[in-house]
């Protein structure tokens, strides 16, 4: 079928990798300080200005009311002592349009008003301040004036003749008062913004000076703000962790190189032997009678290489924790029983007696690794023993529960931990031999790879030098500890301890 040509049809765009967003711009500390200080300062100025203005306004109004009430009392006293015609002219001259005064008859008729011509006002008998003055003799209040069309403060006093003298004065509302303060407030905020800008630059430099001088090579030695201590402690912890990791990596690399070198060295000798004997046989330089002997030597060297390779693979798997059957209950007594059967021929050939005592004891881990651990301990005890010697292994538990009594036959394969009534106490395995022993100055080195106490004897007995290294790794794999006691010529005792998981 021919491919179609032409313009592609419109459709939904194909899904793909999302485009990376633009990196966020770094936050400026100077800008952060400036914004914070400016917003805080302006907020404080505004709140303080409004509160101060409001307090000032109400204080001023209260004082103005008291002053107007006192003036009303003075005017009333003056009117009570002075004829009304003369008094009105005198009051007109005194207040001069600054304060409005009104003379009101007892029935509410307006006799005189300083702001409104006579006859231009309606009856004031319903005015609140007039009513209160008629009842109590005096009154002071603030209300909206329908005549003047603004808020007014009134002070009224009842005269001796029953008439009422009322003084009044216009008052600005709180909103109007605040509005009048707006322009000065704006000017103040602008000045403050400029000052805050300059202050923030100075503050930023002072704040950043110890931060810029931080020594991250030794974070805890810095003299810095207390708030940064957790940050510096975290950096110090990470640096220690990185240094430790680097040291571990360097050590691992050194061990890898040494291990590779040792493996190459250990394999070089048997390969040379195999190659040399094979070359002699290939060139017909070996008598027919000696061919079987040479073949046997080649076989022994090949087996030594095979053992070495097996041990190297086991160590590699332990290093990588690549064990498939981990996390299973393992009966060490049964493992020891099987291992003794496997090594019976080797022990008999070396005239060494093997014995097992103890009880069924379980740990959680890998049966394969545990068996390799027990095997290497026992094989090592046989290999470095002397004719007529012995290797004893004991297994016991300490702590909770009652262990199952050993029957000599052990558990059948497939029995579970529950069926074996296994306890969860501390498991202790001891392997004691009557062999050559280990000098005290070498006891810390015997668990190193390819380390041999007696290299010549190891070559004779076929040891790879990896047995105890495998044992140590196996114990650590199961979360246990290993100790040894040894005296040259008296034998060695290895004690393995596994705490309950």
pLDDT digits (tens, 9 = 90+) for 431-449: 999 998 888 878 777 777 6
DSSP label of 350: T
pLDDT (average), residues 180-204? 80
Q: Mean pLDDT of all residues in the chain?
A: 77
Higher-pLDDT residue of 392, 71? 392
Count of alpha carbons within 13 angstroms of residue 449, beta-carbon side: 21
Distances in whole angstroms, Cα of residue 235 to Cα of each of 207, 213, 218, 463, 480 = 20, 16, 9, 48, 33
Distances in whole angstroms, Cα of residue 308 to Cα of each of 156, 237, 266, 305, 464 = 121, 41, 8, 5, 6
Q: Which CATH number fits domain 29-179: 3.30.2130.10, 3.90.850.10, 3.30.450.20, 3.30.70.890?
A: 3.30.450.20
**Per-residue pLDDT at 390:** 94
Query: Is the pLDDT assigned to residue 218 strictly greater than 70?
Result: yes
pLDDT (average), residues 14-42? 68
Higher-pLDDT residue of 240, 223? 240
Query: Is the pLDDT assigned to residue 333 strictly greater than 90?
Result: yes
CB 479 within 8 A of CB 370: no
Percent of the chain with pLDDT over 70: 74
Q: What is the pLDDT confidence band of residue 403, given thresholds at 50, 70 and 90?
A: very low
Query: Is the pLDDT assigned to residue 16 strictly greater than 80?
Result: no
| Whole-structure pTM value | 0.45
**Per-residue pLDDT at 388:** 93
**Per-residue pLDDT at 201:** 79
Higher-pLDDT residue of 300, 43? 43
Helix axes of 288-320 and 229-282: crossing angle, nearest 10 degrees: 170
pLDDT digits (tens, 9 = 90+) for 36-49: 877 888 788 888 87
**Per-residue pLDDT at 6:** 42
Q: What is the pLDDT confidence band of residue 293, given thresholds at 50, 70 and 90?
A: confident
> Is 362 in a helix, a strand, or coil?
strand
The residue with tokens 């007014």 is: 152
> Which numeric CATH code is attached to 325-498?
3.30.565.10
Higher-pLDDT residue of 23, 417? 23
Q: Can you give the residue ranges of every domain in the chain?
A: 29-179, 219-263, 325-498
Please name the residue ranges forming H helices in 114-181.
128-136, 174-180
**Per-residue pLDDT at 229:** 81
pLDDT digits (tens, 9 = 90+) for 471-488: 888 888 888 999 999 888
User: Which range, 243-247, 261-265, 313-317, 447-451, is most confident?
Assistant: 243-247
Q: What is the pLDDT confidence band of residue 240, given thresholds at 50, 70 and 90?
A: confident
Q: What is the pLDDT confidence band of residue 319, given thresholds at 50, 70 and 90?
A: low
Which stretch of DSSP H or E encloses residue 205? helix 182-212
């Amino acid at each position: 079928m021919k491919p179609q040509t032409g313009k592609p049809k419109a459709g939904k765009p194909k899904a793909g990798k999302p485009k990376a967003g633009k990196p966020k711009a770094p936050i400026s500390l100077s800008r952060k300080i400036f914004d914070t200080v400016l917003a805080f300062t302006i907020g404080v100025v505004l709140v303080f200005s409004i509160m101060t203005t409001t307090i000032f306004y109400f204080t001023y109004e209260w004082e103005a009311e008291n002053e107007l009430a006192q003036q009303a009392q003075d005017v009333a006293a003056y009117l009570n002592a002075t004829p009304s015609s003369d008094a009105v002219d005198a009051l007109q001259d005194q207040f001069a349009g600054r304060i409005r005064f009104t003379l009101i008859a007892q029935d509410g008729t307006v006799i005189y008003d300083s702001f409104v011509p006579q006859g231009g006002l309606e009856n004031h008998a319903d005015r609140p301040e007039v009513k209160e003055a008629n009842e109590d003799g005096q009154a002071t209040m603030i209300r909206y004036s329908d005549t003047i069309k603004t808020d007014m403060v009134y002070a009224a006093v009842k005269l001796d003749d029953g008439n009422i003298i009322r003084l009044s004065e216009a008052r600005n509302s709180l909103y109007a008062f605040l509005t009048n303060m707006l322009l000065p407030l704006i000017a103040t905020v602008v000045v403050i913004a400029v000052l805050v800008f300059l202050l923030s630059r100075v503050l930023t430099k002072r704040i950043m000076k110890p931060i810029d001088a931080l020594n991250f090579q030794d974070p805890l030695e810095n003299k810095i703000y207390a708030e940064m201590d957790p940050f510096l402690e975290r950096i110090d912890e990470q640096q220690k962790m990185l240094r430790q990791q680097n040291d571990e990596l360097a050590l691992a690399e050194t061990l890898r190189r040494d291990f590779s070198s040792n493996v190459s060295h250990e394999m070089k000798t048997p390969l040379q032997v195999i190659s040399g004997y094979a070359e002699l046989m290939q060139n017909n330089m070996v008598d027919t009678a000696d061919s079987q002997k040479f073949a046997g030597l080649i076989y022994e060297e090949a087996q030594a290489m095979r053992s070495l390779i097996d041990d190297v693979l086991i160590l590699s798997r332990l290093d990588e924790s690549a064990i498939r059957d981990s996390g299973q209950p393992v009966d060490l007594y049964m493992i020891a029983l099987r291992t003794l059967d496997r090594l019976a021929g080797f022990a008999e050939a070396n005239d060494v007696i093997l014995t097992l005592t103890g009880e069924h004891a379980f740990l959680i881990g890998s049966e394969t690794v545990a068996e390799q651990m027990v095997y290497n301990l026992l094989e090592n005890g046989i290999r470095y023993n002397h004719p007529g010697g012995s290797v004893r292994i004991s297994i016991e538990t300490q702590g909770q529960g009652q262990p199952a009594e050993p029957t000599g036959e052990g558990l059948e394969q497939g029995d579970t931990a529950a069926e074996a009534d296994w306890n969860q106490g501390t498991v202790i395995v001891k392997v004691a031999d009557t062999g050559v022993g280990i000098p005290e100055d070498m006891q810390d080195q015997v668990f190193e790879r390819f380390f041999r106490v007696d290299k010549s004897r190891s070559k004779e007995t076929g040891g790879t030098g990896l047995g105890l290294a495998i044992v140590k790794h196996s114990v650590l794999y199961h979360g246990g500890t290993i100790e040894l006691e040894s005296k040259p010529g008296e034998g060695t005792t290895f004690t393995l301890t596994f705490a309950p998981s």
